[in-house]
Chain A
């Protein structure tokens, strides 16, 4: 009996000894929550990235979800994160440019939010300027053309609320609310936004067939002679459908928005933007960093005959002097059918991802 206790003590000591840092106040630990990893992801790619100092918990995710949909994060209580990241639109904004609380529009299209725990490089935004989800969530709250608030005001508002202090206590073991804990909770919720049940996923799992048009579309996508999309947007062995790195895909001759190059200062990266995932395109129009294309047909026409030269254009963009490889109308239609097979109804309708407030 006595050495059972001694053993237990030592065992718990060993746990503590092996842990790098103690991240919760007073050693408090919320209820751990595993991400629901789609079988195909588990089989094909590396595990998701979860920072050691922000483990997923039931209480943290519930709190993050509430915050994501809460308009009180903005200065005038009118705009939540979800205002520009709508569940029905795969968590992006159907408007070309979102409008902030002061009626000012930005210059970039909002981004769909899913499978972000598998962004191994950990660079967020079109230009990769945020280096983690926690760090990303700091920005919109204080952005003058978005929620135009201050973090101290957010903390105060939430602190006097009837529910929030208790929820922070449950999630992090403290009632004291600050930007660090708010962004941690939101990041936890964002990591649960997982999309892995499209028609194409079910085709790979052997439970559904593709139409001949969708199958030919996949071939166009993979064929170096035709679409050659896979070198940036992935292939059936990579269910993310993006490389999460930065390219210039031939949209402009000169840049009003320098994209990645604005962040790094490297002229070789002027006009480069992060490759978006091709999942959920059925819901996420308009397309590209500035939302210039309203339809997938316009996107495909761009790659087929609308490419324009600029110094940093990616070498994978072919026959640029002729605008592209000029796909046949049939190949274009099939490519579009294939792209749409990557959309996941169950993702946008997932009850766990809707407004809890």
Chain B
């Protein structure tokens, strides 16, 4: 009897200190790792590339990037064998300059197999509720969107400088949020998050999927972005938000803002 109590307590002790889950599963299930890389038409972007007027956008402006922070959510796996849908429902805020959260493991284990994999850029309306995420309220002085613009959260803050058509250095703040028009009553809102399909991927015991962002594409297709006209005060600009949405979600001839990079097993 005493032995049992001791053993029980001892096993409690082991569980109490154990961090990883190594209990045996009948079917092998795994988490999936994602890494995020960033480039300008193929040239990798890392910390040393920020604040340099080294890029030319499709419209011809010379420009720099000084900040690139964005949110992805709802990484989703659809099983090709069973049709079952797996979605951890969590999100990841990536700060490229600081190099934070460049890798992300959604908090879900899925059976190994073939899947269609996708994620959402930003938050869809279901997730985009005002002020409910403590970590996002705490990030970057508040990742929130003011209530007067419909509330919720930023999808992306892309900021920097460019040389305008009078050869003056100007600043831009390409902030992607839910499109809103506050001049109507009530405010008009349109969900401008979008799903990025990464296609079919084999998920094994240690799969890692690279997600690439080509920053130049935000300024390219289908809307050739003119920074001389659209540089700041873009959050309350409904049409600008729609254009960002179109440029972000357009995928043609295997080019687009987001694409699947290397998958390792």
Residues of A at the B interface (CB closer than 8 Å) are 2-3, 6-7, 10-11, 13-14, 17-18, 44-46, 118, 120, 219, 222-225, 228, 230-238, 240, 242-245, 268, 275, 309, 312-318, 320-321
Contact = CB atoms under 8 A, between A and B. Distances in A.
Contact of A3 (B6, B67, B236): B6
Contacts of B168: 321
B6 A13 contact: no
Closest 5 CB pairs of A and B: A243-B141, A238-B142, A315-B171, A222-B146, A237-B131
Nearest to A42: B134
Determine the interface band of chain B, counting residues with CB < 8 A from chain A: 35 or more
Interface in B135-181: 135, 137-138, 140-142, 144, 146-148, 157, 159-161, 168-169, 171-173
B16 A224 contact: no
B249 interface: no
Contact of B148 (A2, A223, A268): A223
Contacts of B10: 10
Given A13-B13, A315-B66, A275 B233 contact: no
Contacts of A224: 232-236
A282 B157 CA distance: 32
A237 B135 CA distance: 11
B203 to A, nearest CB: 32
B41 interface: no
Nearest to B141: A243
Given A44-B131, A315-B171, A6 B2 contact: yes
B5 interface: yes
B228 to A, nearest CB: 14
Nearest to B153: A237
Contacts of A236: 131, 147
Contact of B137 (A219, A233, A238, A242): A238
B51 interface: yes
B2 A2 contact: yes
Given A11-B9, A268-B50, A238 B233 contact: no
A355 to B, nearest CB: 33
A57 B227 CA distance: 55
Contact of A10 (B6, B67, B130, B160): B6
Interface in B107-153: 130-131, 134-135, 137-138, 140-142, 144, 146-148
Contact of A315 (B12, B172, B233, B235): B172
A46 B141 contact: no
B155 to A, nearest CB: 15
